[in-house]
């Protein structure tokens, strides 16, 4: 298990997006998402670290085989709203379309209770259509908050969950998987949490949704270098993205997911459903 380093996590994603944007069919959008990642980096490095969960609470969660940061175990600390303020300040300085500015202006009018309600709705996956646009910034703020919290944990004290496809720190779904090319055991797959950025090992050639191993196949866009592929499962009809460091040592689990939406479209048109959404892509 690899706990996140808040000082590096969002900066790495921002740099990778800045690298991928030039000449990309969605260049303008990727540049905006890079700025959003820089905003997250600015906030997580400027604000005080999130309060640590007590060792006794972590031990209790581990014994119960539950995630210590799961929202059904602990209410979200309202301090996450400080990160939202910093993110909005950064993004507000960008050149944005009128509709995007209206979303930010409207979000600034929310009182703390309304923000907590929207965050709870987002975390429980029950957003209404009218909430999707502001949820982009809520998601960004919650990501930096939970990443900061995960960094306070002791990796040695944690255990994988019984449902191996869920994050052992916060219980969220992964955004992508990455197959390593170096280290002590190259070729290992790590799943990266979409909320707290924790990475954990998951056996390869097993569907992270249903656990099937006999009906998997890889799909990629013809002509690409194969660094990002979709692992599809005929057993449950889902797919999950896999990144291969051996094909591109610069891949980032979060940035490269955003930059490969064409792959999502390709496999979606063939009838596959994504294992779980990227929190920053709900607006799409």
Model confidence over 10-54: pLDDT tens digits? 999 999 999 999 999 999 999 999 999 999 999 999 998 888 888
Q: What is the pLDDT of residues 249-278, one digit of tens each?
A: 999 999 999 999 999 999 999 999 999 989
What tens digit of pLDDT does each residue of 191-220 get?
A: 999 999 999 999 998 999 999 888 899 999
Average pLDDT, the chain: 93
Q: What kind of architecture, by CATH, is found in domain 174-281?
A: Alpha-Beta Complex (3.90)
Do 6-157 and 174-281 have matching folds?
yes
The number of beta carbons lying within 10 Å of the beta carbon of residue 238 is 20
Q: What's the rounded Cα separation, in Å, for the pair 116 and 78?
A: 7
Mean pLDDT of 146-170: 94
* CATH of region 6-157: 3.90.1670.10
**Domain spans in the chain, listed from the N-terminal domain onward:** 6-157, 174-281
Reported as a pLDDT band with limits 50, 70 and 90, residue 283 is: very low
What pLDDT is attached to residue 282?
A: 67
Q: What is the pLDDT of residue 149?
A: 95
Give the pLDDT of residue 74: 78
pTM above 0.85, yes or no: yes
Asked if the model's pLDDT at residue 223 lies above 90, the reply is: no
């Amino acid at each position: 298990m690899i706990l996140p380093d808040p000082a590096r996590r969002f900066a790495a994603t921002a740099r990778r997006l800045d690298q991928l944007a030039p000449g990309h069919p969605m260049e303008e959008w990727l540049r905006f998402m890079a700025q959003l990642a820089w905003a997250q980096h600015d906030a997580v490095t400027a604000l005080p670290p999130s309060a640590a969960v007590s060792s006794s609470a972590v031990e209790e969660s581990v014994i119960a085989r539950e995630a210590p940061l799961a929202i059904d175990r602990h209410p979200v600390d309202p301090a996450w709203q400080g990160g939202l303020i910093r993110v909005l300040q950064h993004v507000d300085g960008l050149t944005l379309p009128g509709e995007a500015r209206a979303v930010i202006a409207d979000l600034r009018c929310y009182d703390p209770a309304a923000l907590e309600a929207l965050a709870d709705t987002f975390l429980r996956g029950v957003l209404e259509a009218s909430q999707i646009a502001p949820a982009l910034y809520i998601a960004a703020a919650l990501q930096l908050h939970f990443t900061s919290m995960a960094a306070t944990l002791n990796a040695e004290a944690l255990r994988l969950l019984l449902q191996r496809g869920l994050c052992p720190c916060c219980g969220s779904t992964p955004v992508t998987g990455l197959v390593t090319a170096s280290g002590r055991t190259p070729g290992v797959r790590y799943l990266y949490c979409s909320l707290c950025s924790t990475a954990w090992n998951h056996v390869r050639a097993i569907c992270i949704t249903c656990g099937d191993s006999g009906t998997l196949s890889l799909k990629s866009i013809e002509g690409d270098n194969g660094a990002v592929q979709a692992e599809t499962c005929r057993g449950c009809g889902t797919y999950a993205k896999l990144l291969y460091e051996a094909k591109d040592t610069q891949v980032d689990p979060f940035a490269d997911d955003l930059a490969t939406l064409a792959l999502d479209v390709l496999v979606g048109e063939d009838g596959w459903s994504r294992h779980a959404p990227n929190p920053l892509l709900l607006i799409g």
